[in-house]
Structures are given as C-alpha cells and as structure tokens.
Amino acid sequence: MASPANFLRLCLRPSRRLPTLRIAALQQPVLHRPLSTTQWRSAAADENAGKEEAEDEINEVFNNPGQYLSSFLRDEKITEEERQLATRMLEDWQKVPPNMRKTIEKLTEEITDASAPLRRPVVPKRDSFWNSEEPDTDLITDEVGEDDFEEDDIMAMGHAKLEEHREFREYARIAVWEMPLLSKLAKPFQPPTEEQVLRFRYTTYMGEFHPADRKVVVEFCPKDLPGLTEAQQLKLKKLAGARYNPEKDIIKMSCEKFEHQAQNKRYLGDLVNKMIETAKDPSDMFEDIPLDTRHHKFKQQIKFPKEWLLTEERKKELHEQRKQALLLDEAKRTEGSLIDGVETIQQALLHAKVEEAVPVLRGRSGRGRR
C-alpha cells in the first residue's frame, strides 16, 4: 500500500469512478436454487465487506495528484513512514510550474469525460428475451428500424447487401490495381552459398500466439560441412542417430525447448558446432558401430521399365514375332505336326478297343466301391 509505485499509480489515476462497474457486478444476485421460494438475501458479512470496500473506493474526484495527496494526508490511519513519503511528494508537486499543472488537470478531465461511457455499469435487463437488445456484430445491418418501410427507398437489408458488394469491389480493385505493385518490392531468390550449409525453418502464425511458433528446425547435409573427412562424416551421421535420413543424406534436428525462436536457433547452432567438434575428435571414431538406419523406411521407387515402352521399333519387333509365330503354326499345320487336344482325344476314342462288358455283381459291394 505504501510503496512509491503504488502512490504513482494512484496519482496517475485520480478519478476513482471506475470501480462502480465492479460494484454492479458484485451486487448481482447469485441464485443457488433456481426454483426456491425464499427471497434472496446476501449474507450479512458479505454486505458489510462490500460496504467497506465501497467506502474505500468511491467518493471524491481528484483533478490532480496534489488533491489526492492532501486528501491522503488527511487520513489518520496511515503510518508515519507513509506520511513522510506523501509529504515529500506533495512538496514536489507544489514545485511543478502552474502551466504544466493546468495541462495535467485539463488532460485528466478530458480522459475522464471520454472514458465515461466505458465506466457506465453494465446491468443486464431483467426481462430481456435471449438478450435480444445486444448488438449482433455478425449481422450486416444495424437492425435499427429495419422493418419500417417508408416507400421512398429500398429496405435496410438491401442497403446492407449493396454495402457488402461495394466492399467486395473495393478489395477486387485492390487486387487488380495495387497488389501487382507489390512485385516491385520482391527480392530475387538467392540460392544459399557454399558457406551457408545450415537450412533453418521457422514457423509464424502471423502474430498470433501459438505453442509451436518457437520451434526451429535445422537441416544440413554432412557432406556439405567443410573440412570433414569421410570417417568424420560417418561419425557425424552416427552421432545424429535417428535424425539422419540415409535416403536423402540429410540430418534434421529441431528444438522448441526455449521460449523464443532466437534462443532455439542459437541452441541448434551450438549443437551443430558441438557435433562437428565431436566428429573431428579422433579419440573414438565409433568404428565398431555400424550406421543405424532402422528408423528409416526406404521407399522403393518403382519406375516403368524402359523395355516395356511401346515404341515404334518395339511394335515392329512384336509384329515380326507374331508373324513368325503364325508362320510357324502354319508350317506345322501343313506338315501335320500341330497338336490339337480335342482331335487327339477323338482319334484315341476311335481307335480304342471296345472292351467287352464284364459282368459285375450288383448290390452292396457294387455300391460300396464309390
């Protein structure tokens, strides 16, 4: 209560009318049982507390810090320390030149007047139907007297529709006339140079807060890093573990453990440096550990075989093959060596000896055979 910061706060806000809103909110009855027949009454203790607070908050309107300080000093409950501080500040205020004092007072008054509607207490109407008097921002009309038809103009909805159309056209004009001018500001793409081996990726949500907007991803190819021998590159890949993509030969790491993008990026940069340093360290080159690629699923690229393409040549070749096959068949046919399954069977049946019917015992055993 007595800190200088608190004083300053109080001085800068001399008007104490704002809390009325809170009072209104406080006095709203909380209904515990909606169908209760007993009338609602606030608890006695609550009422007293509310009153005290109200007393504490309201009353005077101060036009400048001096008035506030002198009123504060009139209070008898404050401690000695506070009193001394307030006295000193009051003296300071009195040293302020009158011009400036007037300006401050005027400013205070203006602010008070301008913010008056904000401070008006919001009291929900008791017998409103579904808060129908609240403005609906999604509706395109202002809903004031829109059903009244004076026979001299189109209806409010019509006007609103027109307004909407105008808005569309405005944006269309911007798109046609002004957006192309943006291309003047475009910068040509410059591919990264050999020194820029790390590729960072950031995410922005266009100024909105998002838990992922701090995430930074870095990608680099171990081959691009300058001054690394083959063995060192291999060690670097082994160090990267599951972050290494053997198909693309790229190490990809991300960081989102710090609050800001820059911190995460810094961390990644340091980490890459550390990895390179470790990879260059000849004391243990991990030669006994094979490169682990179990985390990666190799995707087999299936291509249409070139030999299967029906080029003109291939078509000719196939045509020739078919012709040869037909010729072969024809030659066999004339020669008589072409084999026809059906014909073979018929010939065999013709030449087959007809066996004499053997008498077979009828009865159980005959049936049992099947």
C-beta closer to another protein: residue 140 or 239: 239
φ, ψ dihedrals at 72, nearest 5°: -65, -40
Quote the longest CA-to-CA distance of the chain. Answer: 147
Alpha-carbon Rg for the chain, nearest whole angstrom, is 47
Examine residue 348 and tell whether it contacts another protein (CB under 8 A).
yes
Examine residue 367 and tell whether it contacts another protein (CB under 8 A).
no
Query: Which helix or strand (DSSP H or E) is residue 252 part of?
Result: strand 250-255
Examine residue 303 and tell whether it contacts another protein (CB under 8 A).
no
Examine residue 107 and tell whether it contacts another protein (CB under 8 A).
no
Mask for 46-85, x = binds another protein (CB under 8 A): ----------------------------------------
CA neighbours closer than 13 Å in the CB half-sphere of residue 365:
3
> In the bound complex, what is the minimum distance in angstroms from residue 359's beta carbon to another protein?
21
Mask for 242-281, x = binds another protein (CB under 8 A): ----------------------------------------
C-beta closer to another protein: residue 227 or 290: 290
How many residues line the site for another protein (CB under 8 A)? Answer: 18
φ, ψ dihedrals at 189, nearest 5°: -70, 130
Contact 68, 11 (CB under 8 A): yes
> In the bound complex, what is the minimum distance in angstroms from residue 154's beta carbon to another protein?
43
Of residues 290, 305, 336, 363, which one binds another protein by CB under 8 A? 290
Query: What secondary structure, in 3-state letters, does 35-69 show?
Result: CCCCCCCCCHHHHHHHHHHHHHHCCCCCCCHHHHH
By three-state DSSP, how is residue 327 classified? Answer: helix
Within residues 328-347, the interface with another protein by CB under 8 A covers 328-329, 332, 338-342, 344-345
Contact 255, 295 (CB under 8 A): no
Examine residue 325 and tell whether it contacts another protein (CB under 8 A).
yes
| Cβ neighbours of residue 27 closer than 8 Å, sequence gap 6 or more | 50
> In the bound complex, what is the minimum distance in angstroms from residue 61's beta carbon to another protein?
59
Enter the tokens of residue 74.
């009139």
Within residues 113-152, the interface with another protein by CB under 8 A covers none
Binding site for another protein (CB under 8 A): 290, 292, 294, 322, 325-326, 328-329, 332, 338-342, 344-345, 348, 368
